[in-house]
């Protein structure tokens, strides 16, 4: 099959621009008319080039933004950074808000990848923060203040008590904290009567011990559900929240001690056909 027949079967024949230029030069038309027609002949077969290289990707807007942030980070990665704990607190846009803003479907893992770059840029020391970095960060900041969405602190009532609620597994605990001499009652019992293990007793008063406030407050607790370990750890969270009602400035110390972060782990349920949650029965050949 010849090349001409091949083109007749699937597409138009190739355009030879050299032939067009030769015909244009050998005509008797004025030079300006020839040039005009020559340009029109060329533009007839010209392609429209996309403005962005990400035009043919699935998420062109997201890809352009991520590439620009990576380039900004590459240009400013040698600038001094502040400690992550001292970096300015920022309420970032959620994945759903960003999807609505650009009108593209993006996986959460891809958006988290972009947030990692933004958090690294946010750690640049404020004294040497470039204007392009500030402009990039402002695009993804919420209008709300980060502290507004933090843990709610219970106010102190007329008796000088602050209330804290904590949960762990199936246990629920409520703790009332008032200034005193260090007395502790759990369900109307002393700490040694309520918990036989020393580890559980220390777990209950760990927020007070970590902040050296054991002898400055009296503690009265109500806890129900679960076992001794779940009850003790739920009381840890409840006591920490009650302590924040009296002294909100202790929040960083309590966070470092692991007292105000709830442990979401629970016992995995048993599955049908399994001996336990994961264990399978012994296989028998016959």
pLDDT tens figures, 63-95: 999 999 999 999 988 888 888 777 788 888 888
- Judged by average pLDDT, the poorest of 40-49, 70-79, 109-118 is 40-49
The tokens of 221 are what?
Answer: 């607790």
Interval 133-163: pLDDT, tens:
889 888 888 876 555 445 567 788 899 999 9
Q: Establish if 223 belongs to a structural domain.
A: yes
> Where does a domain end: 148, 173, 195?
148
190 shares its domain with 141: no
109 shares its domain with 138: yes
**Secondary structure (3-state) at 166:** strand
> Where does a domain end: 83, 114, 148?
148
pTM value surpassing 0.75: no
Instruction: Tell me the C-alpha to C-alpha distance, in Å, between residue 197 and each of 144, 172, 201, 272.
Output: 45, 19, 7, 35
Q: Establish if 9 belongs to a structural domain.
A: no
64 shares its domain with 141: yes
Q: Are 238 and 221 contacting, i.e. CB atoms less than 8 angstroms apart?
A: yes
Q: Establish if 157 belongs to a structural domain.
A: no
Q: Establish if 132 belongs to a structural domain.
A: yes
Q: Are 128 and 77 contacting, i.e. CB atoms less than 8 angstroms apart?
A: no
Interval 209-260: pLDDT, tens:
999 999 999 999 999 999 999 999 999 999 999 999 999 999 999 999 999 9
How many structural domains are present in the chain?
3
Q: Establish if 5 belongs to a structural domain.
A: no
pLDDT over 90 (residue 177) = yes
The residue range of the domain holding 121 is 55-148
Q: Are 260 and 210 contacting, i.e. CB atoms less than 8 angstroms apart?
A: no
């Amino acid at each position: 099959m010849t090349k001409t027949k091949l083109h007749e079967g699937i597409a138009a024949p190739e355009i030879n621009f050299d032939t067009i230029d030769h015909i244009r030069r050998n005509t008797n038309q004025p030079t300006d008319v020839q040039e005009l027609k020559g340009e029109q002949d060329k533009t007839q077969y010209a392609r429209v080039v996309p403005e962005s290289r990400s035009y043919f990707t699935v998420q062109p807007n997201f890809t352009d933004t991520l590439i620009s942030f990576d380039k900004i980070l590459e240009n400013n990665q040698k600038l001094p950074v502040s400690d992550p704990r001292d970096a300015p607190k920022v309420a970032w846009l959620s994945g759903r808000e960003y999807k609505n803003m650009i009108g593209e479907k993006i996986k959460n893992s891809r958006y988290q990848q972009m947030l990692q770059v933004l958090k690294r840029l946010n750690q640049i020391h404020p004294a040497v923060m470039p204007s392009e970095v500030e402009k990039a960060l402002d695009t993804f900041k919420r209008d709300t203040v980060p502290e507004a969405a933090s843990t709610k602190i219970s106010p102190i009532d007329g008796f000088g008590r602050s209330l804290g609620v904590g949960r762990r597994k199936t246990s629920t605990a409520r703790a009332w904290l008032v200034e005193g001499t260090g007395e502790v009652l759990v369900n109307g019992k002393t700490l040694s009567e309520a918990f036989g293990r020393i580890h559980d007793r220390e777990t209950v008063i760990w927020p007070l011990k970590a902040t050296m406030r054991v002898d400055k407050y009296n503690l009265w607790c109500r806890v129900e559900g679960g076992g001794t370990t779940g009850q003790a750890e739920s009381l840890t969270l409840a006591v920490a929240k009650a302590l924040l009602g009296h002294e909100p400035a202790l929040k960083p110390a309590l966070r470092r001690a692991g007292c105000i972060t709830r442990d979401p782990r629970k016992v995995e349920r048993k599955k049908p056909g399994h001996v336990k949650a994961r264990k399978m029965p012994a296989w028998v050949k016959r």
